[in-house]
Amino acid sequence: MSSPPAPSDAADGLPLPLRPIAALGRTVLALLQGAGSLALFGLEGLSHLLRPPFYGRQFLAAFLEFAFYSLPVVALTAIFSGMVIALQSYTGFARFNAQSAIASIVVLSVVRELGPVLAGLMVAGRLGAAMAAELGTMRVTDQIDALTTLSTNPMKYLVAPRLFAGIVALPLLVAVADLLGVMGGFLVATVKLGFNAHAYASDTIGFVQTSDVVVGLAKAAVFGFLIALMGCYNGYRSKGGAQGVGSATTSAVVSASILVLAFDFILTEMFFSR
């Protein structure tokens, strides 16, 4: 009778102390391979935005999902966040008699950070999962292969319109979130905290600069791209039936959320660090 197969580490023939290093090396190589694969996928998707044919219906459907159907959840998140910032900053700033700074704190927090980041995270949870599940199901039920057999490039038909919709729609969504977040702060300040409405509005408009808004919206465009990219990438490459689609969905949400936060730091460092 043959002996049982040796574990793979032992099969490497490495001395015991070196095996963790070999495992680490394999992990790093796998990470680099994954990053390269993701970058190529993203570049291919973007390249299809520049080459016809274009799929307007697919873009409109993805745009509606991003901009219209995500609006309620993003709006609620933004308005409550603005209200909470006003309350929290009031309790903190009252100790230093600096309540007049509340309008500027609210508008800067919302426009520069909370608007794009919270909208990005909410949309990553909602649409990243939906995209990964839809494309993943299409993959495991041969629908993506069927597209290829029907003279339709799946990257062009499925991926490129979603990437473009993410880039275009999230800034619009964030613009609305910015307005609602500031409005939430305004409501709390004027109704609950007794601020003068005209003075609060003047402070808000006077303090915020165009660059704050523009950079916030630029961040949103990057986040929109990242969310669509992770949703499409994980769904498009999913395999293994229902479990594979489930894993792809989880990976899409987790990776998109982490990338939103990481790129938020990178972009803030690029644009706002003086």
Interacting residues with another protein (CB under 8 A): 52-53, 55, 137-138, 141-143, 145-146, 148-153, 156
To another protein, the closest distance from the beta carbon of 105 in angstroms equals: 45
In DSSP notation, 120-140 reads HHHHIIIIIHHHHHHHHHHHH
To another protein, the closest distance from the beta carbon of 147 in angstroms equals: 8
Residue closer to another protein by CB (options 148, 196) is 148
99-132 in b/e form (b: 16+ CB < 10 A) is bebbbebbbbbbbbbbbbbbbbbbbbbbbbbbbb
Place of tokens 């973007």: 46
- Contacts of residue 87, defined as CB under 8 A and 6 or more positions apart, other chains included, come to 188, 192, 193
Q: What whole-number distance in Å separates Cα of residue 94 and Cα of residue 92? A: 6
To another protein, the closest distance from the beta carbon of 47 in angstroms equals: 13
Within 10 A of 158 (CB to CB), how many other CB atoms are there? 25
Place of tokens 């307007």: 56
11-33 in b/e form (b: 16+ CB < 10 A) is eeeeeeeeeeeeeeeeeeeeeee
Residue closer to another protein by CB (options 3, 151) is 151
To another protein, the closest distance from the beta carbon of 40 in angstroms equals: 16
User: Is the CB of residue 67 less than 8 Å from the CB of residue 169?
Assistant: yes
Residue closer to another protein by CB (options 242, 270) is 242
Residue closer to another protein by CB (options 33, 196) is 33
Residue closer to another protein by CB (options 13, 52) is 52
Residue closer to another protein by CB (options 16, 150) is 150
- Contacts of residue 194, defined as CB under 8 A and 6 or more positions apart, other chains included, come to none
To another protein, the closest distance from the beta carbon of 255 in angstroms equals: 25
| Helix H or strand E encompassing 209 | none
To another protein, the closest distance from the beta carbon of 227 in angstroms equals: 20
User: Is the CB of residue 56 less than 8 Å from the CB of residue 168?
Assistant: no
Residue closer to another protein by CB (options 74, 158) is 158
- Contacts of residue 76, defined as CB under 8 A and 6 or more positions apart, other chains included, come to none
To another protein, the closest distance from the beta carbon of 149 in angstroms equals: 5
